[in-house]
Amino acid sequence: MIKKLLRQRWLAIVLFLLGSLHILIIHQTYKPNTYAQRPSLVLDEFIDAPPTQIIIWGERESGVDLAMEALQHSFLDIQVSRHARIVRTSTLKDDELETIAARTNVLWIIVVRSPCDWSEAMMQRKKELCFETHILQNTGWNPCEEMVSYNTPWYDWEDEYGGEVIVPSETKQRNLSYKNMFEMRRQNLLMMQQIMELVPRHVKIVRLGEFELNPNALVKDLVKEYKFTLAQDYKPLSIPSNPTGTLCLNRTKWNEAQKLIDWKLEGYFGHHSLECHLCYNDVEGVNSEEEEGNKTPSIIYLLGERNSGTTFVSDTLAEAFDPPNSMGSNLEKFSSGIPVLLHKHMFRHDLLNEAELAEVKARRDIVWVLVVRAPCDWAEGMYRKPYHLCPPKFPERCGPTSDPDQKIWMNQNNVAGVKLLDFFTTFPWVDWAESVPFLRSSTNREGDPEVSISKPSLNYTYPNVFALRRHKLKIMKQIIEAVPRNVKLVRLKEIERSPEKFIQDLSREFKLSIKEGYKPQTPSIVTHSTVCLTPMEWEAAEGEIDWELDGEFGFSPFDCRMCYGYDKSTRLYDRVMESNKVKKILKESSQQTKVKNSKASK
């Protein structure tokens, strides 16, 4: 039966290719890279048929209830329901996959939670059930208190809620057992992955850590991506003022979690190993040898690629902590004079060598804040604002023999006439930051000698913008592997929605003191929503992005989105104009905040 379905899809693919022959001819020399591990693009009835039903599926304690609350009465003529919890030890069979594929009207909302946060919540829930049982049976509580290790058998219990059933449970076994709780999680993620790869156009991943910061952002994205209409009586949920903070694990549990969790699979859902926190103020299970050299850090440095949100993160940090130096402009707080890497944007064309990595490892006093943005959103940002891109018409301005007085800053004319599809694939990114704006005085006094904050080489040309991203992520990965305990990874969408949570988590995890007079920060007045891609742009991006590497930074293939009704790419000019509107709003808001703070301090 599944073979019949595949034959139908092959026919649809052939028809699509014939209709897009002119595009294929233009790109006949283009070959996608071999880095990507991606789902298949569904080129059949889903392309022109937005869903009319939402089914929410997730494990216990993952945020399914919150997703139901946010979506249940939000849309006109869209039925929203939850799927009954699926309890089984086998993956989905061919006939079950065919049943799912036949439900062409369904949008699957897959709700997931960071594995360590989820595991602690599950253990707490099981303890509560255990207490209730022992109270009813008038027995002691000791058996409940003993459930503290991840590496023990996990006996699942019967579901306490119902829901729609498309994928059945294994009804012959009412209470399944697993080697440990993460084996059960892996089983559920594998089933979710099957559905995601079967109908990628009709799947939306919702990560609780991001979602709970602003549930209404999901509603906004669904309207944009699936052409849903808001209900007349739609009422946005109130944004939580005190979201869940960092969960600190002792070293014993942290070690168990790192060994038991399938991080490669978790990366497919946008979770990474740094989401399990080994905090500095928790030394339980740590011996003196392990703790040697791990003194509490006191300095914060920021790393992140252009158009990733580093300025916003820098401003957020400056409200709570004192910058390590005053080198450069106010825009470069926490960003200049960085050991080894020199500048936040990591202006170097080669990876760190052994001597440089040794220097990084020796600096246990530094917290490295790594700022990342979803790959397609970031690449579109680089398209609108191509900082330090060498002008294609003037290649002599770049390279070791170029004139350092020739400024290469940001000029949209350098990509004028280039389609986003080509920018993703065949347009070379020639990166040259050795220009006047990036030569800084060591003391900021006029007349002082200037110092370069980049380390250029001959390897400054990348096949496309995603190759540039791959290079920068590899540098960040070197930092993570060198000092894993001293790294804080932050995704732009999360910090925009709750900068205050970021500050409090950073303070708790690394035992950093917040400066006196600090005032809690509010969410950004502008948050970045989904960047819509055409089917061809989406397919090209999926083929160029190294999803295994991006997964280590918390991004999934489903973070790049096609939108129904979006078949013609937006012009660069229109993208720039819209970006300028946002920039103006942010500038006015910043000025108002400064005036308000000035009055409050008097």
What DSSP assignment string belongs to 393-430? T-GGGSSTTS-TTS---B-GGGGTT--HHHHHHTS-EE
Q: What is the pLDDT at residue 28?
A: 38
Q: What is the pLDDT of residues 575-601, one digit of tens each?
A: 999 988 877 776 666 666 555 555 555
Residues 6+ apart with CB under 8 A from 452: 342, 434, 438, 439
Shared domain for 217 and 332, answered yes or no, is no
Among candidate residues 207, 226, 245, the one where a domain is terminated:
226
DSSP track, 339-356: TTTEETT--BSS---HHH
Please, how many CA atoms are within 13 Å of residue 189, restricted to the half-sphere of its CB?
22
Q: Write out 123-143 in H/E/C secondary structure.
A: HHHHHHHHHHHHHHCCCCCHH
Q: What is the pLDDT of residue 26?
A: 31
Closest C-alpha among 589, 569, 591 to residue 581: 589
Confidence of residue 157 (pLDDT cuts 50, 70, 90): confident
Q: What is the pLDDT of residue 172?
A: 57
Residue 7 has pLDDT above 70, yes or no: no
Which H or E run includes 473?
helix 465-482
Integer angstrom CA distances of residue 447 from 193, 326, 340, 436, 439: 60, 17, 25, 15, 13
Residue 39 pLDDT class (50, 70, 90 cuts): very low
Q: How many whole angstroms separate alpha carbon 263 and alpha carbon 552?
A: 8
Which residues face 110 on adjacent strands?
57, 205
Among 23-32, 245-254, 398-407, 487-496, which stretch is predicted with the lowest mean pLDDT? Answer: 23-32
Residue 571 lies in a domain: yes
- The tokens for 453 are 């904050």
Tokens standing for residue 119: 């595991």
Is residue 348 a part of any domain in this protein?
yes
* 112/187 same-domain check: yes
Look up residue 160 and give its two tokens: 């306490």
Residues 64 and 147 reside in one and the same domain: yes
**Quick one: average pLDDT of 231-242?**
85
312 close to 582: Cβ distance less than 8 angstroms: no
Residue-wise pLDDT tens digits, 86-123: 888 899 999 999 999 999 999 999 999 999 999 999 98
Residues above pLDDT 70, as percent of the chain = 78
Distance separating alpha carbons of residues 73 and 79, to the nearest angstrom: 9
| Nearest to 207, CA basis, from 226, 229, 192 | 192
Task: Tell whether the model's pLDDT for residue 11 goes beyond 70.
Answer: no
Residue 374 has pLDDT above 90, yes or no: yes
Q: What is the C-alpha separation between 259 and 588, in angstroms, rounded? A: 49
Query: Quick check: 290 pLDDT over 90?
Result: no
Torsional sign, CA 145, 151, 155, 160: positive
**What is the pLDDT, as a whole number, of residue 483?**
96
Q: Is the pLDDT score of 5 beyond 60? A: no
Where would I find the H helices in 249-340?
251-260, 263-267, 288-291, 310-320
Q: Where among 184, 208, 226 does a domain terminate? A: 226
Per-residue model confidence (pLDDT) at position 282 = 55
Structural domain contains residue 131: yes
The order of strands in the sheet holding 53-58 is 79-82, 53-58, 106-112, 203-207
Q: What is the mean pLDDT of residues 186-204?
A: 94
The answer for 77, left when phi > 0, alpha when psi is -120 to 50, beta otherwise, is left
Q: Output the pLDDT for position 324.
A: 85
d(CA 7, CA 18): 17
How many angstroms separate the most distant Cα atoms in the chain? 84
Q: Which domain holds residue 97?
A: 35-226
Q: Which residues, in sequence order, are CB contacts of 326 under 8 Å at separation 6+?
A: 444
Strand partners, 248: 277
The predicted model scores a pTM of: 0.87
Q: Distance between CA 51 and CA 531 in Å, rounded?
A: 19
Torsion-angle region of 293 (φ positive above 0: left; ψ -120 to 50: alpha; else: beta): left
Buried b or exposed e, range 342-374, using 16+ CB within 10 angstroms: bbbbbbbbeebeeebbeebeebbebbbbbbbbb
* Angle between the N-to-C axes of helices 2-19 and 94-102, in degrees from 0 to 180, rounded to the nearest 10: 50
Whether residue 216 is found in the same domain as residue 305: no
User: How much is the pLDDT for 120?
Assistant: 92
**Residues 519-543: tens digit of each pLDDT:** 999 998 888 888 999 999 999 999 9
Query: Tell me, what amino acid is at 449?
Result: P
Q: Which of 251, 273, 316 is nearest to 507 (CA)?
A: 316
**What's the CA gap between 397 and 407, in Å, rounded?**
9
Rounded to 5 degrees, what are φ and ψ at 533?
-120, 150
Residue 411, domain member (yes or no): yes
pLDDT at 444: 57
Cα distance between residue 494 and residue 482, in whole Å: 25
Secondary-structure breakdown of the chain: helix, strand, coil percentages, each rounded to the nearest 5? 45, 15, 45
Q: Picking from 174-183, 352-361, 480-489, which range would have the lowest pLDDT averaged per residue?
A: 174-183
Between 434 and 401, the more confident residue is 401
Phi/psi class of residue 285: alpha, beta or left (left: φ > 0; alpha: ψ in -120 to 50)? left
Domain-embedded: residue 282 = no
Sign of the torsion formed by the C-alpha atoms of 555, 571, 562 and 40: negative
pLDDT at 600 (0 to 100): 52
Q: Are residues 365 and 514 in the same domain?
A: yes
| Of 60 and 142, the one with more pLDDT | 60
Does residue 565 register a pLDDT over 80?
Answer: yes
- Single residue among 226, 255, 274 that ends a domain in this structure: 226
Does residue 12 lie within any of the structural domains?
no
| 178, 78: one domain | yes
Number of H helices, E strands in the chain: 22, 19
C-beta separation of 398 from 438 below 8 A: no
Q: Are residues 408 and 542 in the same domain?
A: yes
The number of domains in the chain is 2
- Indicate if 198 and 87 belong to the same structural domain: yes
Q: Give the residue among 497, 178, 490, 476 at the shortest CA–CA distance from 338.
A: 476
Which residues have CB under 8 Å from 411's CB, separation 6+? 386, 389, 391
Q: What is the pLDDT of residue 219?
A: 95
Looking at the fold, whether 368 and 460 belong to one and the same domain comes out as yes
- As a whole number of angstroms, the distance between CA 243 and CA 261 comes to 25
Low-confidence winner among 32-41, 339-348, 564-573 (lowest mean pLDDT): 32-41
Asked if the structure places residue 521 within a domain, the reply is yes
Distance CA 384, CA 577 (A): 10
pLDDT mean over 477-505 = 95
Q: How confident is the model at residue 32 (pLDDT cuts 50, 70, 90)?
A: very low
Q: Are 449 and 343 contained in the same domain? A: yes
**Residue 409, in any domain of the structure:** yes
Residue with tokens 């720039």: 576
pLDDT in tens, 337-355: 889 998 899 999 999 999 9
pLDDT for 245: 76
pLDDT the model gives residue 15:
38
Give the domain CATH number at 466.
3.40.50
Does the structure show a pLDDT above 70 at 12?
A: no
Mean pLDDT taken over the chain: 84
- How many CB atoms within 10 Å of residue 34? 8
